[in-house]
Structure 1
């Protein structure tokens, strides 16, 4: 083929469902930036006009109509450039997920998604219809006819086609059909959710496809916390013939993050720039980046004025505090002090000017002091160790710190119930009740602070606790957002040690020396989480085998027995406790505050794992285990 060189650009965008003004501004900024760099083709993410997370609003025909009106605005910005932009199209009473090609202010056609994601956090078949292979049709809007379907496009003699996100993850992916038809370039607009280490899979998917099909491959992902639960890392990849040419920094705080490269198309294309990709991925660093961006986007998109946290001195609340501090640190590093402060919507111009006069450590603490308010709410069962842990961590990051006790409130509720029951409540008879009232009494005061400050209350539940319901509803589960509910307790404990050693959060030295404990029973009982439940590593293994790998209780037992996790009777007791508590506490998981999807699975019924509120509770399965 004749040699052709094209400047290929791809941009990650931080969009919000149905935020038409902001979404179009980001698209316009990307188009203008690409045009200024003489790009021939610009690829934008999947459904970037509407946002990917519109959910059941996609079923409303008016949404697609508004998106098409916005598309007509966008095309007027596309002078002397070809732009691929994503939107839903309502056609023949069905909704299709499409990428529209605009060339020099003219709409050329709409490539439609052929495979719909229907696993994990995705429910695309609820909203969209898959487009059949090798089919091209036309639809009419305002008297104008537009081609839609499985289309091959051309730019300066170079043929190109689409794989839209999930299309590329299937064995019979569209590229299998496109390449024999002379296609030399595949464009992939995506909304591929973040999960720990997933970028490694995505990188291989793109680079290996470019090698297998001897083509150039351009990938653009959505960026940020778009709709509340799911995070996008904003990955941009440009590869050719098995070589990675461009890759951006993931999980940045920008609204638009673009990469551009000149790519040679010929029989033996010249590849002058190659990026070395070096796994393995540091999942602790990934978690830090994802939590930071997710919290920042959630705060600013909800128009909240920072965060409030009941800081117990334990691992979970300490991680939430560090996540806010790291949000400030990474945000300033990505945007600079002025841009970060402006984007947070919390500072006046004169305050921003003052912040710019401060040194790096001072400015971070000053901003954390505005964004994070913490309170330690002790009881007679609380220890000096957890108090010092909470106080010193808050001080080290610059957070506002309050300290009060709740013993009088606990006594007040206890006396009321003792009066109506005409008996004394005792630890022997009323253990759970006496534990729960302490956790519940902590909620009203901390909610008051959140309301006064117009701030988000951070709930501190983790995935391990959610699995077995080891949390007090309307107590430690109270909150506007539950940022760490998608990760397990064992990961959290090692992460905090890493954060102390690698990120320099010396205030974590106190919590890292403590055993996790609810501190709700009298201190002489030396209550710990693992004494109440089982070792967290075992709990997490059971959870993963049961609900990620989908093995039966008997199969889980045999697998753990073969590993020598514990003696048979101990293992049977742990499995009985886990499955019984899991089935009994689905109602709690239904009521948790929204959580971020961070790992390759979670237990949130609104995003990953549905389970009946009422069930048989695995009685037969657990009975068979006892007989083994």
Structure 2
């Protein structure tokens, strides 16, 4: 059998950007023709974009997507591929791959399994196609087969799995395709990014190619398509358990096309140059966040970002992410293209720092409870990356609000009686002025909430939660603190040195109190272990205690205290999580109820379950 040029492509699409989406697909097809690609796998729902949400429920959106099919088909001379879009058949909507070869439709494969875990809600929009069933559908006045189909192309018998299809274990389509003689499986995917998730994908593709005696081609979407989920643009081609092609992930390019020459009975050893290495988590994190910020900014046509830079770990992480966005964007696209894409073609900035300065406002909003140490730390970091830095005090508005309520209540507020209110008014008083700067500069206000704060509500609603976007709210504080040290030592961000020396603190109580976050809550490394079991694994307080007790992290009494505090604060603060700014999904889970974790706003706060915990003998 001869070698064939087999390719996968990734593309950065946007819901309702019909002209842009189609033009990027055409550019991929043009590149495929020029490089003589014969078999091409494109990502799932790449005409509409995966993130159309309830627009999929409309009749007009699938119809409009279908209307672009003829001009895409015209670009397929000499190419076997599929165009992946929603199709309505017998008044039911399906997630489909319209299979085309050499300008002719060969049939339609319909996805058999819908993703309904974590961030996915596919059964809300799409129907699963029944296994083994085929039917007929009319497209552009011609009838074609639709359903559980395979396709012939010279030495190849080709089957499909669309994303979730492949993750269904012993019930997946590939288990049946092998019995039908399929030796090539194409997998158009829209698989959300999570740090180190690529290891699972590689294992899936390699084991699939080995277990099903086939060549397996996987192609994922790219970029921050619609606001929250990030796609890493992974392309993998494997045969007989060996990877022959894997690209670098998280590209700033609008699309990427990668190919390898391979025979159905390939015996050559894979060329290592075609297989990109797996990045460690510490490098995936900034790369994903930077791409997501870049796409969010350009797709919203904003002029940059604004950040309340406190001198603490969370705001420092967000600041570094904006600097990384500029660094990676210029490195991958060139300065001219990067500035054009973010609608700043007229900018005369020459260096990366000057570009950062044109895009990024930071402000230290101090009070009498703030320290000179955090002010210096914030200014040092801003200067080191090139951001604009402003410094003002908010004691006057805080005093005005406080005096007003004291007159109404006819008493003086004190830290003994009014601790929470006196802390919150400081955080809330920062919001109007930073929003004003944001509006004046037509930028996006970054809120710095992390996942640990989201767990326990350790944030002031309408204060430090105010913002357009929450880039790190799916990442825990323990990871953030460790990553900042990595960024200082390994990524060249020397401006983080002073911040990395400070314990996390809200600086809302008098300086003499020496307030720290961990004193208010619990050690962050303990919280993240409780969080994984309670939220990710959905265990009860007793189950969490029994598992963590074996780890010997702290005394039994203290562990019970921390577990109790976690569950009480978690259950009482769902209303805050409901109002958090849009968040990027970066880790294996998050606490955003609009994507991953739904919880009742009102509940009995685990009272019975916590009583069972207290009753346990140590």
Match of 1:587 among 569, 572, 575: 575
Worse overlay, 404-413 or 552-561: 552-561
1:563 corresponding residue in structure 2: 551
Partners of 2:135 and 2:269 lie apart in 1 by 37
Q: How does 1:322-333 map to 2 (within 5 A)?
A: 322-333=320-331
1:378 corresponding residue in structure 2: 366
Deviations 1:281-311 (A, max 9, x none): 4101000110010000011011111000000
Q: How does 1:426-441 map to 2 (within 5 A)?
A: 426-441=414-429
Q: How does 1:211-360 map to 2 (within 5 A)?
A: 211-266=210-265, 269-270=267-268, 273-274=271-272, 281-348=279-346, 351=347, 354-355=348-349, 358=350
Deviations 1:139-173 (A, max 9, x none): 12343112111111111231111011111111122
1:190 corresponding residue in structure 2: 189
SS of aligned partner of 1:430: helix
1:181 corresponding residue in structure 2: 180
Q: CA deviation at 1:80?
A: 2.3
Match of 1:393 among 381, 384, 387: 381
Partners of 1:277 and 1:38 lie apart in 2 by 21
Q: How does 1:394-543 map to 2 (within 5 A)?
A: 394-543=382-531
Give the TM-score normalised by structure 1: 0.96
Judging changes above 3 Å, is the alpha-carbon distance between structure 1 residues 308 and 278 closer, same or farther for their aligned structure 2 residues?
closer
Q: CA deviation at 1:316?
A: 0.3
2:164 corresponding residue in structure 1: 166
Q: How does 1:7-22 map to 2 (within 5 A)?
A: 7-22=5-20
SS of aligned partner of 1:196: coil
Q: CA deviation at 1:276?
A: 8.4
Partners of 2:298 and 2:193 lie apart in 1 by 20
Q: CA deviation at 1:279?
A: 7.2
Partners of 2:140 and 2:29 lie apart in 1 by 25
Q: Is contact 1:31-1:83 (8 Å) kept?
A: no
Q: CA deviation at 1:409?
A: 0.6
Q: How does 1:75-224 map to 2 (within 5 A)?
A: 75-171=73-169, 172-224=171-223
SS of aligned partner of 2:415: coil
Task: Tell me the matched-pair count.
Answer: 615
Partners of 1:269 and 1:69 lie apart in 2 by 43
Partners of 2:215 and 2:407 lie apart in 1 by 76
SS of aligned partner of 2:416: coil
SS of aligned partner of 1:77: coil
Partners of 2:94 and 2:62 lie apart in 1 by 10
Q: CA deviation at 1:269?
A: 4.4
Partners of 1:103 and 1:280 lie apart in 2 by 34
Structure 1: gaps of 5 or more residues: none
Q: Is contact 2:245-2:275 (8 Å) kept?
A: no
Match of 1:622 among 610, 613, 616: 610
Judging changes above 3 Å, is the alpha-carbon distance between structure 1 residues 280 and 190 closer, same or farther for their aligned structure 2 residues?
closer
Deviations 1:342-388 (A, max 9, x none): 1111232xx3xx44xx4xxxx11011001110000000000011000
Q: Does 1:367 align with 2:355?
A: yes
Q: CA deviation at 1:405?
A: 0.2
Worse overlay, 546-555 or 513-522: 546-555
Q: Is contact 1:7-1:260 (8 Å) kept?
A: yes
Q: Is contact 1:244-1:275 (8 Å) kept?
A: no
Q: CA deviation at 1:277?
A: 6.3
SS of aligned partner of 2:506: coil
Partners of 1:102 and 1:280 lie apart in 2 by 33
Partners of 2:238 and 2:574 lie apart in 1 by 45
Q: CA deviation at 1:546?
A: 0.6
Q: Is contact 1:4-1:158 (8 Å) kept?
A: no
Q: CA deviation at 1:391?
A: 0.3
Q: CA deviation at 1:103?
A: 1.4
Partners of 1:203 and 1:158 lie apart in 2 by 23
Partners of 2:64 and 2:139 lie apart in 1 by 12
Deviations 1:168-201 (A, max 9, x none): 1111221111122221111000001100110011
Partners of 1:597 and 1:6 lie apart in 2 by 37
Partners of 2:160 and 2:305 lie apart in 1 by 42
Partners of 2:278 and 2:269 lie apart in 1 by 25
SS of aligned partner of 1:30: helix
Partners of 1:78 and 1:271 lie apart in 2 by 30
SS of aligned partner of 1:392: helix
Judging changes above 3 Å, is the alpha-carbon distance between structure 1 residues 256 and 277 closer, same or farther for their aligned structure 2 residues?
closer
2:47 corresponding residue in structure 1: 49
Q: Is contact 1:245-1:275 (8 Å) kept?
A: no
Compute the RMSD of aligned alpha carbons.
Answer: 1.3
SS of aligned partner of 2:3: strand
SS of aligned partner of 1:23: helix
Q: CA deviation at 1:280?
A: 6.8
Partners of 1:142 and 1:248 lie apart in 2 by 36
SS of aligned partner of 1:577: helix
Partners of 1:82 and 1:278 lie apart in 2 by 26
Partners of 1:22 and 1:244 lie apart in 2 by 32
Judging changes above 3 Å, is the alpha-carbon distance between structure 1 residues 46 and 276 closer, same or farther for their aligned structure 2 residues?
closer
Q: CA deviation at 1:569?
A: 2.2
